[in-house]
Amino acid sequence: MGCTNSTESAEETVPAAAPAKAAKAAKASTKPTSSSTGSKPAKNKTADGLVEGSSTGKHFNEVYKLGKQLGEGAFSVVKEGQNRQTHDSYAIKIVTKAKLSKEDEIALKDEIDVLKDFDHQHIIRLYDVFEEPQHYYMVTEKMTGGELFDRIVQKSYYNEKEARDTCEILLQAIHYCHKKKVAHRDLKPENLLLTSQSDDSDIKIADFGFAKKVKAPNTLTTQCGTPGYVAAEILEGKPYDTQADMWSIGVIVFILLGGYPPFIEQNQRTLFRKIRKGQYEFHEEYWGQVSEDAKDLIRKLLVVDPAKRYTSEDALENKWIGADAATLASLDLGTNLAALKKFNAKRKFKAAVSTVMAANKMQSLGLDFRKNLD
């Protein structure tokens, strides 16, 4: 599910602003600067409004050396990259301009505009941006630990403390986004990554392709997200804001604790109907041993009315987030871990199919979306 039919792009788009000036950026000798490079560094902006000219005033290939391919999307590839001077390693997202629709390019610039201002331990970093004739090059933090859910299902033992610690990290990261007045709009397991193979707690929120700055409450209108994680108000076609992310967080917390999604149907029409009504349940087989405080957090997040839903600040102050670690560690989630392994296997299969079928990210919602909303 992506973004579909809306005038939001024109009404809400904030032009990508100029990054830190070269003099300031030069102090960071081990990291590239947030900038956009053109062939003439004296120029301030390209025709598209992006700033060109890095601290070096060089082309991408003069600053970075590309390595092996790490991934591929509908109109981009991700390759390993190395700074020629510092030898630091990064992930380089190479976006082909010719494959972008006008809406795609607006979304890309929104993503750049958002990420260039972000500096949080649990949000993927964007270090540099180069705009060149055929491509955009986005220099990002390299994530070598894979997806969070893949790591969890490798465990032989899983308890409520581990689930709580993960949820707290996600809430801290999304709280940072919301304080910056940014809605992510596509929170889901695929976008929760790990920095390394050795540290289970170094989690990062990634893929800000649908992220948007929120100028005022309830001013977003584009229907964005992924079926199963999308907020009720988005399906209803109502103007929304950062609170839509809190619904998605509620779904993720439910899965981390229960091992399966709160809203899961083969028929998308039935799925959307349940989401819009907030119809889910805690099945005794999986939830009988889960603490009431954990279930209370979920109940406060999966609230159809966004005005009554927990904010990120409310969630961080929830009793379960501050609960005693030893007590939570004693609450075994072994049965739920088995369910999570099954769910994750299905999720990975569907993701592989979606990757093959997706032709245009901004149209990935599908032609049948609206007729599934009756």
Domain borders along the chain are 8-140, 148-372
pLDDT band at 33 (very low <50, low <70, confident <90, very high): very low
Distance CA 317, CA 33 (A): 36
CB atoms within 10 A of CB 252: 22
d(CA 157, CA 40): 57
Which residue type is seen at 86? T
CA distance linking residue 27 with residue 136, whole number of Å:
25
Predicted pLDDT of residue 141: 93
Residue range 148-372, CATH number: 1.10.510.10
Lowest-confidence segment of 3-7, 244-248, 347-351 by average pLDDT: 3-7
Active site residues: 186
Residue scoring higher pLDDT (42 or 46): 46
Lowest mean pLDDT among 6-15, 113-122, 281-290: 6-15
Measuring CA to CA, how many Å separate 242 from each of 48, 80, 191, 306?
A: 28, 33, 17, 9
Percent of the chain with pLDDT over 70: 78
Tracing tokens 């229960």 back to the chain, one arrives at: 258
pLDDT tens-place string over residues 342-373? 988 988 776 654 444 343 444 444 445 566 66
* Domain 8-140 sits in CATH 3.30.200.20: yes
Residue 110 corresponds to which amino acid? D
Would the pLDDT of 25 be above 50? no
Whether residue 169 contacts residue 112, with contact meaning beta carbons closer than 8 Å, is answered with no
Question: Is the separation of the CB atoms in 93 and 140 below 8 Å?
Answer: yes
Distance (Å, whole) CA 84 – CA 81: 9
Task: Tell me the C-alpha to C-alpha distance, in Å, between residue 337 and each of 259, 321, 332.
Answer: 6, 20, 9
pLDDT of res. 40? 37
Tokens of 215: 């100028």
